[in-house]
Structure 1
Amino acid sequence: MKRYWVVLLLIMSISVARVARADGVTRVPAEQLAEAIAAAEPGDTIEVTGGVFHGNLVVDKTLTLIGLDGATLDAGNKGTVLRIEAPDSTVRGFTVRNSGDSLDREDSGIIIAGPRGLVEDNVLENVLFGIYINAAPGTIVRGNHITGKELDIARRGDLMRLWDSDDVLIENNVTRNGRDAVLWYSERMTLRNNDFSHGRYGLHFMYCDDATMEGNRLTYNSVGAYLMYGRRMILRDNLIAFNRGPSGYGVGLKDMDDSVITGNRILDNRVGAFVDGSPRELNSTGIVRNNLFAYNDIAIEMLPSVRHNLISDNSFIENEQQIVVAGGGQLRDNEWTVSDRGNYWSDYAGYDGDADGVGEIAYRAERLLDNLLGSRPELRLFLYSPVVNAVDFAARAFPLVRPQPILVDEKPLTQPVMPTAAPLPIDAGEGELWPVFLLPLALLALFIILRVGRRRYHMPSPLATQTGGLSHGE
């Protein structure tokens, strides 16, 4: 009788295995994942039902791997956790952690080395490089949360890296505490609704054409986005804020042709946008339109050789310096008025006589200190000092000492144009501090209302409406 039950159980187990094979779906705990991959046929699905796989995995056939119940892949701080070599493979729902720390070997959380891969909804923790797309065109990377190793920033890896991979979609990912998000030698990429923060370069493009970056948050990095040696790049509806490293650029453009910068909120960076040799080709044009530059040390810094940019319908609000020419000089052959519309300047002192939203006199950037700071940036120490204010007043009052204007906007706008980019972030853990700030603010507001009675105030700053009252320190 005992022998009968043993034989029956053996037959049932074989039958179940055959059914799983027939359906192309296998369910295993994480500890058995390597064996399941070895036994699977191309096109199969493996559902991993919890547990922890220890070691390094290679997927060398087309498979779909689905992590359930907290399934975890752990490399034990050695090498790459998961390498996908087969085309059309999917990895979804895993915790991937503890890669090695060798920059030379490019130890990564996940390497995608086969075309048309799909990596989505994974959590990567304590990895050197995050997700590395290496010669894998048509890949989609979506909805992953990636945290780097606790190392000095120069020793960290890139939490998003793309090499020689066209037609890639990267969307809804979050990276924290990495080095860069680097994209090289690739075409027709889309980066949408990602959050790249607390690194060195939020985005760094080199030799890429026809890429679109929209709806991303690039905050608290040394540099928000730096675009180099490419064509037809679109930077649209992004939040680029609080990037204050040694260079501290919100956006950097180096030898970029036919780029379009539009609809972005560029806030509280050392330099909002830095432009060097862009556009490069004589028959190319750069477009900077409908952006908000606010509370930056410098809104836009350009080299004097920069030509052929169309800059209109932007709002320049309360930047310490609106425009700087690096090395000194004037900006020539750039258009600051397009289709009879210029830009909004918060320091514009003109008027709108016919209420058409356009000032009746030109905006002239001709502060003496702005001219000096282009060639002597160390003089910034004296910004807003009484001596500088006196010199500026004298330059305005006496034409003999008035400097040549850096730029002239013939049709300045009298009302700001506000883009609808991504909202300002609240870092993890900061949200619970809101009650501490809200109570005293509410009491202060009540005191002001009671104190001033019916006194009418000016309308609130349009920037405050856009940012919801958040600031760098909140």
Structure 2
Amino acid sequence: MWRTALLGWGLATSLLNASILQEAIDRASPGDILRLAPGIYQGAIRIDKPLTIEGQEGRVIIRGEGKGSVIRILASSVTLKGLWIEGSGSEHSSIDAGIVAEKVSNLKILDNRLRDVLFGIDLRETHRSEVSRNHITSKPFDLGLRGDAIRLWYSHDNTISENTIQESRDFVVWYSSGNRIFKNHGMDGRYSLHFMYAGKNLVEDNLFERNSVGIFFMYSEGTTARNNTVKNSIGSFGVGIGMKDASNFTLKENTVIYNARGFYIDQSPFQPGSVNRYEGNRILYNTTGVQFHATQHRSLFYGNLFKGNVETIANDTPGAKIRLNEWLGNYYDDYEGLDRNKDGIGDIPHHHYAYADKLWLYYPALRFFYGSTVMSVLNFLAKLAPFSEPDLLLEDSKPKMEAKF
């Protein structure tokens, strides 16, 4: 029989005894529910049995000691709900966090607010758990010195949803598979979502804005990313969605807008014989819509919309096998053909060439002139009378005539 205990009633305005919450946890039976009265409870607590700890959001604060992690979970079937968690340590080497869970399953971390914590929620070998509707910010450090808001390490089959992440460093998914990551909002960070050696995850309906990178997949395979919006990824790297040595991916109906690079595709797909599919994505008002690097294998681009990009696509690697890619039924705002039979498909294929402007890709010192009148004139003259062989970057035999969102 589960029991319910009310802890700390009447002590809302004072810092409760350092051991009172830990003592209550130690005395509780497996399956008990601890409902905390409003107040400030000292952290550095350890949960080693199935328990539920509930607070009234904004009125129950678990405050760390400024060193180590605030809450450490070492048992399965633990629920933390409606708590404000703050005051972790600042050591990256020990991954000081608001919540750490290790070698457990069936957790529920719901409706909490984590602030002034180096790392937010750190899941290590944690499976079949839910992390939802939390608000997470890191410590007020320089971007690279903050910790990760959410960290999955060898953690599988979890649901990470409707979290708000602001002014942290990264949200990382490493060596983890089978996770569903949806309806999260990440802003003002570095990598809003970063995968490393992670396979068969689902990423959908997220909004990432004002980060250095929206979503980046590295050394991973078999994930689907759909209906995400990534915008305003700017700066020296500035990527909406990036792929590095990533194979057998499907990226569908995503919107990448106002980024330095909409998609950045680095040697992806990586595995011979594998294919990445980009379908129905909206690639809008980026400096470069799609930038390729070291292409060796084939990707498919079907039904995507390119509009308002300074450069539709670019290839920065001489000798790359860019012609292996397949383009079909995409919309390009720079298409110059007609549709005489009114079937919505252009009468002639769309070709995209790199003329003189390929120089800035291959010779970084010339990037200063990109977008300048000098480069525009050179590019115009090269199209009239090429003084070097232009690079054919794409050919689409059925370009769409209308931009349909």
The bucket for the TM-score relative to the shorter chain is over 0.9
- 1:54 counterpart (24, 42, 48): 42
Question: What letter matches 1:292 in structure 2?
Answer: R
Question: What letter matches 1:365 in structure 2?
Answer: H
Question: What letter matches 2:326 in structure 1?
Answer: E
Report the counterpart of residue 183 of structure 1 in structure 2. 173
Trace 1:47-446 onto structure 2 (pairs within 5 A).
47-68=35-56, 70-113=59-102, 114-329=104-319, 331-337=322-328, 341=329, 343-398=330-385, 403-418=390-405
How far apart, CA to CA, are the structure 1 residues paired with 2:2 and 2:97? 33
Specify whether residues 396 and 273 from structure 1 end up closer, same or farther in structure 2 by C-alpha distance, changes over 3 A only.
Answer: same
Q: CA deviation at 1:400?
A: 6.6
Q: CA deviation at 1:369?
A: 3.2
Question: What letter matches 1:112 in structure 2?
Answer: A
Q: Which moved more, 1:281-290 or 1:127-136?
A: 281-290
Report the counterpart of residue 28 of structure 1 in structure 2. 7
How far apart, CA to CA, are the structure 2 residues paired with 1:178 and 1:91? 21
Question: What letter matches 1:249 in structure 2?
Answer: V
Q: CA deviation at 1:304?
A: 4.4
Specify whether residues 214 and 409 from structure 1 end up closer, same or farther in structure 2 by C-alpha distance, changes over 3 A only.
Answer: same
How far apart, CA to CA, are the structure 2 residues paired with 1:378 and 1:315? 31
User: Highest Rg: 1 or 2?
Assistant: 1
- What count of residue pairs does the alignment treat as equivalent? 393
Specify whether residues 242 and 304 from structure 1 end up closer, same or farther in structure 2 by C-alpha distance, changes over 3 A only.
Answer: same
Question: What letter matches 1:376 in structure 2?
Answer: Y
Q: Identical aligned pairs, as a percentage?
A: 33
Question: What letter matches 1:178 in structure 2?
Answer: S
- Give the secondary structure class of the aligned counterpart of 2:374: helix
Specify whether residues 316 and 291 from structure 1 end up closer, same or farther in structure 2 by C-alpha distance, changes over 3 A only.
Answer: same
How far apart, CA to CA, are the structure 2 residues paired with 1:204 and 1:66? 31
How far apart, CA to CA, are the structure 1 residues paired with 2:29 and 2:175? 34
Question: What letter matches 2:43 in structure 1?
Answer: G
Q: Where does structure 1 lack aligned partners over 5 or more consecutive residues?
A: 1-21, 419-474
Specify whether residues 384 and 135 from structure 1 end up closer, same or farther in structure 2 by C-alpha distance, changes over 3 A only.
Answer: closer
Contact (CA 8 Å) 1:324, 1:370: kept in 2 or not? no
Contact (CA 8 Å) 1:33, 1:48: kept in 2 or not? no
Question: What letter matches 1:139 in structure 2?
Answer: S
Q: CA deviation at 1:366?
A: 1.6
How far apart, CA to CA, are the structure 2 residues paired with 1:123 and 1:400? 61
Normalising by structure 1, we get a TM-score of 0.80
Q: CA deviation at 1:367?
A: 4.0
Q: CA RMSD in A?
A: 1.7
How far apart, CA to CA, are the structure 1 residues paired with 2:140 and 2:367? 35
How far apart, CA to CA, are the structure 2 residues paired with 1:379 and 1:322? 19
- Give the secondary structure class of the aligned counterpart of 1:407: strand
Question: What letter matches 1:206 in structure 2?
Answer: M
How far apart, CA to CA, are the structure 2 residues paired with 1:172 and 1:276? 30
Question: What letter matches 1:361 in structure 2?
Answer: I
Q: CA deviation at 1:354?
A: 1.2
Deviations along 1:50-104, one digit per CA (max 9) or x if unpaired, are 1111231110111011112611100132221111111011000000011111111
Determine which structure has the larger strand proportion and give its number.
Answer: 2
Contact (CA 8 Å) 2:357, 2:375: kept in 1 or not? no
Contact (CA 8 Å) 2:231, 2:257: kept in 1 or not? yes
How far apart, CA to CA, are the structure 2 residues paired with 1:110 and 1:74? 12
Specify whether residues 345 and 23 from structure 1 end up closer, same or farther in structure 2 by C-alpha distance, changes over 3 A only.
Answer: closer
Q: Where does structure 2 lack aligned partners over 5 or more consecutive residues?
A: none
Specify whether residues 379 and 329 from structure 1 end up closer, same or farther in structure 2 by C-alpha distance, changes over 3 A only.
Answer: farther
Question: What letter matches 1:390 in structure 2?
Answer: V
